[in-house]
Chains A and B, each alone.
Chain A
Amino acid sequence: MTSGPARLFVPGRAIALGTVGVVVALAVWWLLSALLAGGGGVINRLPAPPAVATKLVAYARTELAQDLAASLRVFAAGWLIGVAAATLAGLLLGRVNVLGRIFLPVVEAIRPVSSIAWVPLSIVWFGFGFTSKIFLVGLAVFLVVIVYAVDGSRRIPADVSRAAAMLGMNARQRFLHLILPGTLAEVLIGARVSLMSGWGTVIVAELVAADAGLGAHLISVQQSYDVAAVVATMICFGASGFVMNALFTVAERRLMPWRRTHAREIDE
């Protein structure tokens, strides 16, 4: 296993090599854009990095803050509702066996349906606007988190639960002190995974119901064939996703310090 004190971290080398990687990637991008600038080939519209940077600065000076706020509002509302609903449903379906047997197959059947496929229905049901976007984001987050919630609610071994009962914990105490914390720990992982699917769904919802937000800006610059601005907007999406994920990692480490190794991805 790679976890534990054996893992040495050399920040100087990591930063140097990482910088090399970024520089090489930018150079390749620049070279490609120069080669493809004359048209021809399939990709004849690759903007050079400076053009994208110019658009990025221009966007940051004008509507970025406002669009970002609109997107984040949709995301926060949908994500919170989705996580809360999935926790409740997960506890219910995970702990009550009959309910789980009846409804988990239904949940499993809905999961492979892309969130974008719900767009027409959500527009018919909730109209264009805030509610329909929250529905889409909430649904996407719910379908991710419920798997973790069900898993977490079943994770406490029956032995532990019986031992607790023998030691005099009543059903309510067992729920509050054993099952609930176990479930919430797992829900937290699901909540982190769902950050990206929720944020992706915000884009989808805004691409289709394009009235406000980063996605609406993305589709409007796409329709005016402003490729540099399209790439600049994509960078804004990526950067805000990255910041969200980083904030969540910090929060997770505060809440559950023993789970450090789970939070690490390929950033050794």
Chain B
Amino acid sequence: MSAGVWRDRVVLPLAGVVLVALVWQGIVALYRLPVVVLPEPWAVARTLAGLLPTAAFWRDVGVSVFEFAAGYSAGVVLGVGAGLLLGESRTFRLTASPVIEALRFIVPFAWIPLTVLWFGTSYTGKIVLVAYAVFFVMTVSTTRSIMQVDPTLTRVGTMLGMGRAALAFSVHLRAAAPAIASAARAAAAVGWIAVVAAEYIGASAGLGVMITNAATSLQTATVIAGMIAMGLIGAAVSAAVGWLARSRLDYR
């Protein structure tokens, strides 16, 4: 690593974190804030370090990650499938797009109370909610990327005697794959946010529940530690999806 990269990638970002922690510490000290309002940064770090070896914390993380993974994979598969159909067939697109547009504007958060009524505090409700959130991101962007595939490719495929299905799967889907992959990465962030939000309103386990419980017992340090864990896992999830997409799309 050259000195410039070292400075730009490691030293300056670390300086940012340290600076934020210092300002945070300064605000707490200056206004003599009680621990409930804002604990000191090192207290949060200590709380996080204390959480890491506990089984309960990892159970909550496991529940959230499981709900996310199940809902996300269902949402991506269904969303890409629907997007492929919408992109390939003009008739289907014109028929389905008013319904899809209407549902798309009912944001996932608005579904939370209903999923609680339908599925209670079980995992199913959260999985459905994540799948719903991911589905619309994937459908809209898959449709768009399929429709933006270079028409020359379609003509070449037709000339080579490919049928409609072969064109859709071997030409259009492959040509659109990089755009779909970047949408999948954006959808991962959306899905992760939806999981925690759903757990917040009604659930029996998960990171959202951990944060709610800490908030009701006024343990603000645990709340912030939970938020940090949520941010780190969210970043890791989206990096993992990005890595997976890159390694699968090597033929580009």
User: Which residues of A are in contact with B by a Cβ distance under 8 Å?
Assistant: 1-2, 13-14, 17-18, 20-22, 24-25, 42-43, 45, 98, 101-106, 108-121, 123-125, 196, 199-201, 203-204, 207-208, 218-219, 222, 225, 227, 230-231, 233-235, 237-239, 241-242, 245, 265-268
Contact = CB atoms under 8 A, between A and B. Distances in A.
A21 B105 contact: no
B223 A234 contact: no
Most B CB within 10 A of own CB, among A18, A201, A245: A18
A203 B220 contact: no
B156 interface: no
Interface residues of B, number: 71
B117 A121 contact: no
Per DSSP, chain A at the interface is helix
B100 A266 contact: yes
Contacts of A112: 189, 192-193, 230-231, 233-235, 237-238
B189 to A, nearest CB: 6
B13 A101 contact: yes
B106 interface: yes
Interface in B96-124: 96-103, 105-114, 116-119, 124
Nearest to A220: B113
Given A21-B96, A266-B140, A268-B94, 8 more contacts: A45-B118, A102-B16, A108-B235, A116-B208, A117-B200, A120-B215, A222-B117, A238-B102
A219 B200 CA distance: 13
Contacts of B20: 106
Contact of B143 (A14, A18, A196, A266): A266
Contact of B196 (A1, A114, A200, A203): A114
Nearest to A222: B113
